[in-house]
Amino acid sequence: MASTVAVTAQPIRVQHPEGTLHGFLSITNEQGRILAQGDLFNVVQGDRVTARLTFRFRDGSLDDETTVYTQRDVFRLVSNHHIQRGPYFPHPLDMTVDVEKGTVVTRTPGKDGKDDIATEHMKIPEDLYNGLVPVVIQNLNPDAPQTNISMIVATPKPRLVTLAIMPQTPSKFELAGFSHVARAYEIKIDLGGVAGVIAPLIGKQPPDIHIWIEGGKLPTFLRETGPLFSGGSVESINLIGPTWPEGTR
């Protein structure tokens, strides 16, 4: 099947600048079992934001991603460093994207106990948004029928793919018993070229990703469902709040 998604290089305009924050998230499986607890830290210096999202799994696995970007008029990625290791991840990941240098550096465990380091030089498009998909979606025009952005994935060799983001029917949810409506988005991953040829390189055609955003004056990420790695099962990333022992006042 030939690719049908046109690749564009249009950076997303800043409608809602990111600020300093500490957010709490969880990863659950389809049965609702909590697999990991996560922390999101945003540090803002001028128009530059450093965001670090760390998930620590019950089995000792780690998913740790640090993203640096600017938000002057449009969002532009500066760098992204993504680490995945431990029993949950069958193939360890350590990939660093440096936009200014145009390099993607991957580290993989070597047979002699030392990491094998590979550096790829790539032409990086202006709309590359590794680590920034929820931020980008929060700033989309809700009336746009489709928005395309770029991402680099490890297959295990770094490969540029296109994410086609499309709005879906809004979903209802509740907060403390009060009804709200979330904007819903579906994300299709376009592998480029002929999918039947490319898909075996990453195991299979990746499943669609779904993201829910609370709209209004300040859109906020609520939930994401999709695999955490190529070939992985569909999990759910959710915002969480504290729970208190009975009797706490």
What sign results for the dihedral spanned by CA atoms 174, 29, 50, 183?
negative
Whether residue 198 has pLDDT greater than 50: no
Whether residue 93 has pLDDT greater than 80: yes
Q: Is 237 left (phi over 0), alpha (psi -120 to 50) or beta?
A: beta
The reported pLDDT for the residue numbered 113 is 74
Residues 97, 79 contacting (CB under 8 angstroms) = yes
Whether residue 194 has pLDDT greater than 70: no
Which tops the pLDDT comparison, 233 or 110? Answer: 233
Which band of pLDDT confidence, cut at 50, 70 and 90, is reported for residue 193?
low
The reported pLDDT for the residue numbered 197 is 41
Whether residue 84 has pLDDT greater than 50: yes
- Euclidean distance between CA atoms 94 and 104, whole angstroms: 10
Whether residue 97 has pLDDT greater than 60: yes
Residue closest to 15 by CA, chosen among 182, 142, 125, 181 = 142
- Euclidean distance between CA atoms 168 and 171, whole angstroms: 9
The reported pLDDT for the residue numbered 116 is 87
Whether residue 104 has pLDDT greater than 90: yes
DSSP-assigned beta bridge partners for residue 185 = 167, 211
Residue closest to 223 by CA, chosen among 235, 233, 213, 209 = 213
**Count of other CB atoms within 10 angstroms of residue 100:** 8
Q: Which residues contact residue 237 at a Cβ distance below 8 angstroms, ignoring those fewer than 6 apart?
A: 25, 26, 27, 38, 223, 224, 225
User: Whole-number mean pLDDT of the chain?
Assistant: 89
Share of the chain above pLDDT 90, in %: 74
- pLDDT tens profile 137-192: 999 988 899 999 999 998 778 999 999 999 999 999 998 899 999 999 999 998 87
Tokens coding 49? 């934001």
Strands annotated E in the chain: 21-28, 34-45, 48-57, 62-72, 74-85, 93-98, 103-109, 115-121, 147-154, 158-175, 178-190, 209-214, 220-227, 234-239
Tokens coding 159? 């490969």
